[in-house]
Amino acid sequence: MIEDLVEGVLAGRRRAIARTISLVENDGPEAQGTLAALHPHTGRAHIVGVTGPPGSGKSTLVNALALHFRKAKTSLLLPESDVADTPPRIGIIAVDPTSPFSGGAILGDRIRMRDLAGDRGIFIRSMASRGNLGGLAWATADAVKVLDAAGFDLVIVETVGAGQAEVDIARTAHTTVVVEVPGLGDDVQAIKAGILEIADVFAVNKADLEGADHAVMALRMMLDLDKDGAQRTMHHGRLMEVVARTGRGADATSGSPERSLAPPGAGQASAVTGWHPPIHKTVATRREGIVELADAILAHREYLQQSGRLVWRERERAAAELETIIQHESLRRVLARIDGAQLRELVERVVQREVDPYTASQQLLTSLGLQGRKGQTPAPE
């Protein structure tokens, strides 16, 4: 079965792609073998994450971006293609929240993307978060790999829309688009930790509403607070400092990044001075500002390639993924070895305040033959 699925995915057959993503999503016994076989064929797609609060128009924005890239027939997403008018193949993963009560999910983002129906160059997959926090489902990164191996040039991941803690997309995407809308709150909402730092490109959607210019101004103020010549940002859970900027650069509101890269498609090398996240006003329902937003995504992709940051992000992404898998597998194996009666007894002792949770966990690990944290001796039972 694995061989048939892998062959079908590499051939770009939609049924095989859908079955493989389902296999990965359900964590079936053959999922790891299938992903291992597909892994050598990944690493070619550019991954764009679209995140923002609920109701900000993420699905409509993704729909408009996908239509633009398909109709523009740009070869910038096809580095190995010599055909300038070849439209890129686009994969879309839309993550919907899972109800903590019923366990169900509507998976309704495809309804908002009905304009893409019938286009064989676009593959849309809705995915339930299944209680996973951070805006993504557990299997999102693996689903991206499947689409990457299937030959899609651009993979767009739309997150749940959970709010300020929704930063896991930065571990998955090469380019993160943060969508803001006017009227969601005061200026403090724009500066809360997490959501501002992960942005590579800002989109102030529904810009035809009152307060759009104020929202842009608030974002610009926060981006301009860094006065020491370096842009610091959080990516993949670590504080990073990008290449130092020189001078004030171009107006961020117009979407001009602070860089000295050639225009998209110019095909010439140039010095890179750093990346200042541009801010674009869009009205996705009327396709306004979409061209400029798409150009900013392509410009950021070019920046990553020319600055060497693309390789750096791939390394950080692999490290974060490896760490997550180790945590998941370690917990699964530990829970499989724990005696149910022992676990219930420890829980009861924690409830009765006879032992604290940290000491209880150390006792449990010690009973399994696993060494506790260095320098920490479990309290006697």
- Any residues with CB less than 8 A from the CB of 93 and at least 6 apart, and which? 125, 127, 140, 143, 144, 147, 155, 156, 157, 158
In degrees to the nearest 10, what's the CA dihedral of 238, 244, 247, 253?
A: -30
Question: For position 56, what pLDDT does the model report?
Answer: 87
Give yes or no for a contact between 208 and 281, defined as CB atoms under 8 angstroms apart. Answer: no
- Euclidean distance between CA atoms 139 and 128, whole angstroms: 9
- Any residues with CB less than 8 A from the CB of 287 and at least 6 apart, and which? 64, 67, 68
CA neighbours within 13 Å on the CB side: how many for 322? 6
Question: For position 262, what pLDDT does the model report?
Answer: 37
- Give 353-373 pLDDT, tens digit per residue: 999 999 998 888 888 888 655
Query: How far, rounded to the nearest angstrom, does the alpha carbon of residue 269 sit from its chain's CA centroid?
Result: 28
Domains assigned to the chain: 42-307 (3.40.50.300)
Give yes or no for a contact between 242 and 175, defined as CB atoms under 8 angstroms apart. Answer: no
- Euclidean distance between CA atoms 226 and 41, whole angstroms: 40
Residue 39 backbone dihedrals phi, psi, to 5 degrees: -55, -45
Question: For position 254, what pLDDT does the model report?
Answer: 42
Give the residues across from 126 on adjacent strands.
94
Phi-psi region of 99 (alpha: psi -120 to 50; beta: other; left: phi over 0): beta
Residue 312's CB: how many other CB atoms inside 10 A? 14
Could you give the C-alpha distances from 20 to 141, 143, 144, 148, 227, in angstroms and in order? 13, 8, 11, 13, 48
Question: For position 76, what pLDDT does the model report?
Answer: 56
Residue 173 backbone dihedrals phi, psi, to 5 degrees: -95, 155
- Any residues with CB less than 8 A from the CB of 199 and at least 6 apart, and which? 176, 177, 178, 277
DSSP E strands, the chain = 46-51, 90-96, 122-128, 154-158, 175-180, 201-204, 232-235, 238-241, 279-281
Max intra-chain CA distance, the chain:
72
Give yes or no for a contact between 209 and 284, defined as CB atoms under 8 angstroms apart. Answer: no
Q: Is the dihedral of CA 288, 86, 200, 307 positive or negative?
A: negative
**Three-class DSSP category at 15:** helix
Give the residues across from 154 on adjacent strands.
46, 90
DSSP string spanning 193-228? TTTTTT-SEEEE-STTSTTHHHHHHHHHHHHTT--S
Question: For position 301, what pLDDT does the model report?
Answer: 93
Residue 219 backbone dihedrals phi, psi, to 5 degrees: -65, -45
| Low pLDDT (below 50) residues in the chain | 81-82, 98-107, 130-135, 164-165, 193, 227-272, 375, 377-378, 380-381
